Chain A
Amino acid sequence: MAGGIANASESAGIYKGRAGLLILPSWLVIGFFLLLPVGMMLIYSFLTKEFRGGVIWEFSLAAYDQFFFNRGLFGDEPPQIEWTYINIFWRSLWQAGLATLFCLIIGFPTAWFIATRVPRHRTVWLLLITIPYWVNLLIRTVSMKFLIRDTGPMNEFLIWLGAIGEPLQLVNTNIAVQLGLFYSYLPFMVLPIYASAERYNFALSEAAADLYAGRWTTLRLIILPAVKPGIIAGSILVFVPSLGAFLAPDLLGGAKTFMIGSLIEEQFKGNAGNWPFGAAASIILLSIVMTVLIFYARSQTRREAR
């Protein structure tokens, strides 16, 4: 009897040890790919810059100071708020938000369309959505530039149609950047919404219609709440990379469409860079993204607790 109890606790101990071993890979992944890089970035953002790129191991708040304040050309004037970077940041938030909205407006009906096909056709549609993404993002973005430039097929076609007299100046505008972001991240909106929509119980739409709800009311009161998790997940998946995107703004935009991703990218490129400043900008970006995600996670837990 007593032996049995001892055995039981012993084996429980063994399993406990083994379970610890089993989650080791997860810890390695999190450690190497999450904690280590973010930790490095955080440390670098508080170091002094080396002029030819790299850092000097000396504590400094200069990077954050440079981001938020202007102390004149020689750094000896009273600090004033530096709007340059805050404006870039603001523009990035705005662009990313807009891209998310457009992806949602196009992505939701697309996902809904796919989810309402017969099961064997759904796979085909999903494949069609993802096929362009087998091509490298850089090449896709450059192709977009070729498509929309002054002498590109789109403008030539519209002129041939007689819809416009002069080519539309799209390259180097916000519209081009939007188009690039939209094209880059649309599937990240479609796929999570599809996953929610596919599980939707269509009897709920019938019940709503039975209880005197028209099509729009049913969409608003029944369908949207049901696919909300997919919409939120898709919005995060589009918003976050759009915020840090640099390919689309670099290639399709100009000086006026400069985004935070490009700003950070420049700090680490060649000899002109400023590593601590780039790291600080990344940390600020990360904080904003994390805040958004934490709010989402909180709202989800509240939902589940209900």
Chain B
Amino acid sequence: MLQKTQDATLAVDIEKVTKNYGSFTALSGVSLDVRDNEFFTLLGPSGCGKTTLLRSIAGFEEISDGAIRLYGEDIAGLPPHQRPVNTVFQQYALFPHMTVAQNVLFGLQRLRKPKDEALTRCTEVLELVQLSAFAGRYPNQLSGGQQQRVALARALAPKPKLLLLDEPLSALDLKLRQAVRVELKQIQKETGITFIFVTHDQEEALTMSDRIAVMSAGEVQQVGTPREVYEAPRNRFVADFIGETNLLDVTVTSVTGDQAFCILPGGREITCPAAAVVDPGPGHLSVRPERMTLTAPTDALLSGQVENHVYLGTDMQVMVRLEDDEVLTLRVQNSDAVSIPAIGSEVGIALEAGAARLLAD
């Protein structure tokens, strides 16, 4: 399965793309490969350059340097209306004076599709987003979720080679957002169109994407499957941005291959996977809260004092202050089978094999 996706043709080839606004660098030498038929997500906090990159692919921003190739053709110099790419805008940008059907037909008419072909396609995409009954409505007569689906239908109608989605779910409420995630993924599979999805919501990224590019400060920090970026983060930014994590200050003694030997606070030594070859000296370990367990204080890898509990429903969050004053957060399943030590009691912490990971920086 993995082999197959790797062999798949390249849909978008972004090569060393740089975008400057005066002295501000929004994108600095970004290179990415998006594969055919992939649900690819650009994830990062606001201001990380993900939207600028999306807008550069759509043609709304002119890149300062680099190349953007779509199935081999360099499109960086083309105006937006000549790129076979469609966009679902964050605030949808539906044409307010046109009905749902007229909105959906707009792109097809510009491409001078024969009338009956355009109408058939319009019916088809409205069915796909389950809005056939609303074809004659105006955008202001629709709910937010319906407007979002019109925007999607409008962008899908011309059968673009690539669909860009600019935080399309951010204006929806939580319940709807969760439902639309599943739907969106389903539509991507059905249509076979390559999606590039921009979001700052890591949960959205993890649930929908085939691969994620984590961005920060105009650079790509890591590209990988949801599992890879969550379980094998490359650096502190990725580990911290995706999910919760504990960053432990350790002393690296040596790194051989992808194995690192580190000294934990408290003096015990640990062997763990390394994200990169790191020079001996101070380093950072990432340990996910759900990958640690509480044990007896004697002979544990780490030990400390329970400082606080937070009740989260399905889980309990337990904060443990280590001897060197670092505070680790653990997640313990909320179950009768597990007893949670009282605040103030001395505890030990055990790490599952491979739960800790030495980060590149």
Contacts and interface: CB of A to CB of B under 8 A. Distances in A.
Q: Do A and B bind each other?
A: yes
A306 B158 CA distance: 28
Interface stretch (A166-174, A183-191, A201-209): A201-209
Interface in B109-166: 110-111, 138, 154-155, 158
Interface in A221-272: 221-222, 225-226
Contact of B95 (A204, A214, A217, A306): A204
A212 B110 CA distance: 6
A213 interface: yes
Interface stretch (B43-51, B85-93, B285-293): B85-93
28 contacts: A201-B91, A201-B93, A203-B93, A204-B95, A206-B58, A206-B60, A206-B80, A206-B89, A207-B87, A207-B89, A207-B95, A208-B95, A210-B81, A210-B86, A210-B155, A211-B106, A211-B110, A211-B155, A211-B158, A212-B107, A212-B110, A212-B111, A213-B106, A213-B110, A221-B106, A222-B95, A225-B97, A226-B97
A221 to B, nearest CB: 8
B79 interface: yes
Given A210-B80, A210-B86, A306-B138, A217 B110 contact: yes
- Chain A interface, >50% SS class: helix
Contacts of B107: 211-212
Interface in B52-107: 58-60, 79-82, 85-87, 89, 91, 93-97, 106-107
Contacts of B60: 206, 209
Q: Which 3 residue pairs are nearest across A and B when measured between Cβ atoms? A: A211-B107, A212-B110, A203-B93
A204 to B, nearest CB: 5
Contacts of B158: 211-212
Contacts of B96: 204, 226
Interface residues of A, number: 18
Nearest to B83: A210
A32 to B, nearest CB: 40
Interface of A: 201, 203-204, 206-214, 217, 221-222, 225-226, 306
Given A212-B158, A213-B81, A306-B138, A207 B110 contact: no
Given A208-B106, A209-B81, A212-B107, A203 B91 contact: yes
With a 10 A CB-CB cut-off, give which of A208, A211, A212, A225 has the most chain B CB atoms: A211
Nearest to A204: B93
A204 B93 CA distance: 5
B62 to A, nearest CB: 13
Contacts, number: 60
Contacts of A207: 87, 89, 93-95
Nearest to B106: A211
A203 B89 contact: yes
A206 B111 contact: no
Given A206-B89, A217-B110, A306-B138, A212 B97 contact: no
Interface of B: 58-60, 79-82, 85-87, 89, 91, 93-97, 106-107, 110-111, 138, 154-155, 158
A211 B80 CA distance: 8
Contacts of A213: 81, 106, 110
Given A206-B60, A206-B80, A211 B154 contact: yes
B329 to A, nearest CB: 41
Contacts of B91: 201, 203
Contacts of A206: 58, 60, 80, 87, 89, 93
A214 B109 CA distance: 12
Count chain B CB atoms within 10 A of each CB in A210, A212, A214, A222 and give the residue with the most: A210
A217 B95 CA distance: 14
A287 B91 CA distance: 45
Given A217-B110, A306-B138, A209 B93 contact: no
A305 to B, nearest CB: 12
A120 B147 CA distance: 33
Given A210-B81, A211-B107, A222-B95, 4 more contacts: A209-B60, A212-B110, A217-B110, A221-B106
B87 A210 contact: yes
B215 to A, nearest CB: 22
A226 B97 CA distance: 8
Contacts of B85: 210
A30 to B, nearest CB: 33
Nearest to A207: B93
Contacts of A222: 95
B89 A212 contact: no
Query: Which of A207, A213, A221 gathers the greatest number of chain B CB atoms within 10 Å?
Result: A207
Nearest to B55: A206
Nearest to A210: B87
A208 B60 CA distance: 12
Nearest to B164: A210
A211 B93 CA distance: 12
